[in-house]
Amino acid sequence: MWFALILAVASELAPTDLTCRSGCANTRAPFPVLANPAPAAWAPLPLGSIVPGGWLLEQLLVQANALSGFMPRSTFPGADTVNQSLWVGGDAPTGRGTDQWLPYWSNGNVPLVMLLRAAGPAALARLDPAADLPRVVDEMMEYVLSHTNKSSGWIGPMLNEPGDANGHGLWDPLNMLRSLLAYAEAVTGGALRGLERGC
């Protein structure tokens, strides 16, 4: 249904100034290229530049003070794939695709911590101290960055990314890279610029 709607809308649009790359003459349906791409209509805001408040802040605190925030310390079945991950020097069982769970967890919890930091000391004071989530996130990011593969530069615990003997590919390091980028963006470009970590 959505595809049909998109086609209907596209057919109503005015023609554009399209040209074909060289070599397209022999193809049936060449890929058109805009001669002069339009400037971007929007620019992404750095993580932390919009401070959460109200209902959103409450939901972030619920998440941080629940299983998501306690996962690095949890004994819940399966939590060892996060809190004992090879990504942070642990000895979690491997071979079941479990190496990717810490990068997935960090994709949610790095932005979570950065948004709570952007909300200020009053929001951070409402975090459960038993989880110690901001410190856990900081230490995780530092550990990952300080344990790169010195011969190839790949991040993560695998020896020969992409595709080592255990069948790993780009999935795990790219997911972790998203976490590292969010962390760097919040610290250097968002509302947290100039603030000490752990505030």
Among the listed residues 99, 109, 115, the one whose alpha carbon sits nearest the alpha carbon of residue 131: 109
Among the listed residues 157, 181, 176, the one whose alpha carbon sits nearest the alpha carbon of residue 168: 157
Handedness of CA 128, 132, 136, 139 (dihedral sign): positive
**Across 101-125, average pLDDT:** 93
Determine the pLDDT at residue 39.
84
Dump pLDDT digits (tens) for 4-45. Answer: 445 444 455 444 444 555 555 544 555 667 778 788 888 888
Determine the pLDDT at residue 101.
84
**pLDDT at 92 exceeding the cut of 60:** yes
Determine the pLDDT at residue 97.
61
Q: Running DSSP on this structure, what letter comes out for residue 196?
A: P
**pLDDT at 198 exceeding the cut of 90:** no
Determine the pLDDT at residue 31.
62
The better pLDDT of the pair 71, 189 is held by: 71
Determine the pLDDT at residue 30.
57
| 65: CB partners within 8 A, 6+ apart | 126, 127, 128, 131
**Across 74-85, average pLDDT:** 80
Dump pLDDT digits (tens) for 114-171. Answer: 999 999 999 999 999 999 999 999 999 999 988 887 777 778 777 655 555 555 567 7
**pLDDT at 195 exceeding the cut of 90:** no
**pLDDT at 193 exceeding the cut of 80:** no
Instruction: Of 45-54, 68-77, 114-123, give the lowest mean pLDDT range.
Output: 68-77
Determine the pLDDT at residue 12.
53
Q: Residues in the chain, how many? A: 199
Instruction: Of 79-88, 90-99, 142-151, give the lowest mean pLDDT range.
Output: 90-99
